[in-house]
Amino acid sequence: MYQTPYSYANPYQYQMTPQIIKVHGRNGADAYHMNPNSSALLLDETEPIVYLAQTDGAGYKTVTAYDIQLHQELPPVDTWSLEQRISKIEEMLNNEPHFTNPKPVKYEQDRTSKTNGSNVQVGKQS
């Protein structure tokens, strides 16, 4: 392909192959050379850490460290044991004595205000 002095390279023309970039510690992540406006994940070979390295338009780099840990699958929920626990709680609640005549709450009248043509009584509990 012929390029004139005024032509420019298409950044999408070349496809990068995925690769794992390995570094040795934070110093290796800081020393990794990157172009402006780019980002990379850097895998630490000495500890279970991955670094996210990003550069801005001026080429200033920031490196953020993330811990890596093995994913643990959660055990399945045993619905049978949950049903047994719920039935025990229901049984305990059903066996408790219930109060049939609770003490009535008495209100003292403090003032009467008019709202939309109806009297609304506002009181305080005694």
Residue 61 has pLDDT above 90, yes or no: yes
The answer to whether the pTM exceeds 0.85 is: no
Could you report the per-residue pLDDT of 3-60, keeping only the tens digit for each?
Answer: 555 555 555 555 566 688 999 999 999 999 999 999 999 999 999 999 999 999 998 9
* Contact indicator for 54, 66 with CB cutoff of 8 Å: no
Q: How many CB atoms lie within 10 A of CB 24?
A: 12
* Contact indicator for 71, 92 with CB cutoff of 8 Å: no
Q: How far is CA 73 from the centre of its chain?
A: 18
The pLDDT assigned to 1 comes to 47
- Tracing tokens 């305080």 back to the chain, one arrives at 124
Average pLDDT over the chain reads 77
